[in-house]
A and B are shown apart, each in its own frame.
Chain A
Amino acid sequence: MGKFSFLTAIFLLVFGLSYAQTDHSGHDHSGHDHSGHDHSGHDHSGHDHGDHAKDQPATIKKKTNPNVNRTKRKQNNRAGNSHDHSGHDHGSHAGHDHAHGDHGHSGAHVNACGIAGEDPSVFNAGKVAFHHISDQNIYSIGPWHLPLPCIVKTSEGWDFFSSGNFKADYHGTSHYAYKGYVLYEGSLRRIVNPSFPKDKVELHHGDIAIKVEPHPSTGKPVDVVYVCYNNTAYKADNKSTADAGLFGGGITSFYDFSITKNVAGMFIVVFFLFFMMRSVAKAYKTREGKAPSGVQSLIEPIFVFIQDEVCKPFIGHQWEKFTPFLMSLFFFILGLNLFGQIPFFGGVNASGNLAVTAILALITFLVVTFNGNVNYWQHIFWMPGLPAWVKVIITPVEIVGNFILKPATLMLRLFGNITAGHIVIVIFIGLIFIFGKNGTNPGAAYGATIASMLLTLFMMALELLVAFIQAYVFTLLTASYIGAATEEHHAH
């Protein structure tokens, strides 16, 4: 902890200082430099299409109709699209320039298809936070991206390739399209349109941009990624999600079974735990009768604590049967929680991922359900010792409680606690950009850097505590559910 806090403090200081120095010169489009360590507010900034709509309804109308853009843009020279602001030459964006002209930023970059993308002069803390806690198809350590294997199932079959093909920039947006896929903010997107080239094609900065459009079924405004290639805007599918777009993500044409950042992080944790536990287990044979040493003396007190304080009192006489399961749960969750807290090591947020916690809760649910004895089922469906009319009321309550609420709360508790901690840390770091007014107020940025450093250190210490408590609570609740399901009959 001490070392990490120290590193964090140093990094935040360097980070804040370099930010304040580079950005008050009033330059815009820091997105053009690919130096790799400029994670300033511009890179992550959201956009506010609401403002655009107010300022220039004509532009929006034009934007929502790609055909109009396409024909208009085809007449224009695409040269220099990536680095000059040719998009601003067009009359339709004059109002946009004007709106941001007063603080030295010329607003969002407009690509050859007339899609403005994100406005780098707006810092959207919520969006930055959600981007940072989300899963990605690349494993980023600082400015370096380690490629990960992509495994994609579409209606045309399976696709296997490495995410290194995309040559992602520091922000996780690809420089190349490959097999009809692009990477946007670290996540894989598929272009359904068959006329998009299937081989590796180079894209320019700003060619992958988002547009706000109403969701096809709910009508809510959602971000849609467009890829501009040869002056034509191709719509890219949303991220592949297990919920099939139930939570507003949009239905996608592909299933992403890739080894993502979270999966890779889980593999690392599992291998680490496996070899650590194996060496500890060996030590009990080779050093039998001696005092524990090394890793053994780290693991033993934790193991004995869980065994004596969780397994024995909460499960009862069958505790030996379930101890291996509970220990695996505890150390796996603890490992993920702690691994996710190592700064600048990819930010693997596996235990703050709903899919991961859902599977953990499902495993617990299955273990409880398959080990439940007669009394357990009797207490759910026909609670003994109660008048019949109360039983009729109690039975649905018990069914909902045991089959829905218990797994759901297990899932959401772990997810919520870990995610909330990560979001708070990102927001605290975001304070630098909020107070620094995105580069225009370096003095406030310096002040906010110090405040943010202290708050982040406090939050990381708290998160360390939460990592242990949540792993403990998950194990404790699992033990108590198993205990309730395997309890022997008592006289009423």
Chain B
Amino acid sequence: MTGSLAAIGAGLAVIGAALGIGNIGGKAMEAISRQPEAVGDIRANMILTAALIEGAAVIAIILSFFAG
């Protein structure tokens, strides 16, 4: 089996991103329940922040593709 170390690296990156995005989603839900009238702003910023974290994860996965 080849490339398994790269696959583990990709998996680790995804764990980190999943924790981060989960945290963002959870906090956003809390914020929406506190201030339902601000749902639009919160949603846009939630997606923006999640996208920034996702970028790091995607870079890690693609680098692992090329390394593996």
Contacts and interface: CB of A to CB of B under 8 A. Distances in A.
Interface residues of B, number: 15
B58 A309 contact: no
A417 B58 contact: yes
Given A247-B66, A473-B51, A476-B51, A416 B58 contact: yes
Interface string B17-59: 0000000000000000000000011001001100110111011
B44 A413 contact: no
A146 interface: no
Contacts of A412: 55, 58-59, 62
B63 to A, nearest CB: 9
A385 B44 CA distance: 29
Q: By DSSP majority rule, is chain B's interface helix, strand, loop, or mixed?
A: helix
A469 interface: yes
Interface in A413-443: 413, 415-417, 420
Given A247-B66, A408-B59, A416-B58, A469 B40 contact: no
Interface residues of A, number: 21
A56 to B, nearest CB: 21
Contact of B54 (A314, A413, A480): A413
A477 B44 contact: no
Contacts of B58: 409, 412-413, 415-417
B59 A469 contact: no
Given A413-B55, A416-B58, A417-B58, A480 B66 contact: no
Interface string A324-343: 00000000000000000000
Contacts of A420: 61
B51 A413 contact: yes
B57 to A, nearest CB: 8
Q: Which of A310, A313, A413 has the most CB of B within 10 A?
A: A413
Interface string A437-454: 000000000000000000
A166 interface: no
A-B complex: 5 closest residue pairs judged by Cβ atoms? A409-B55, A416-B58, A473-B51, A412-B58, A413-B55
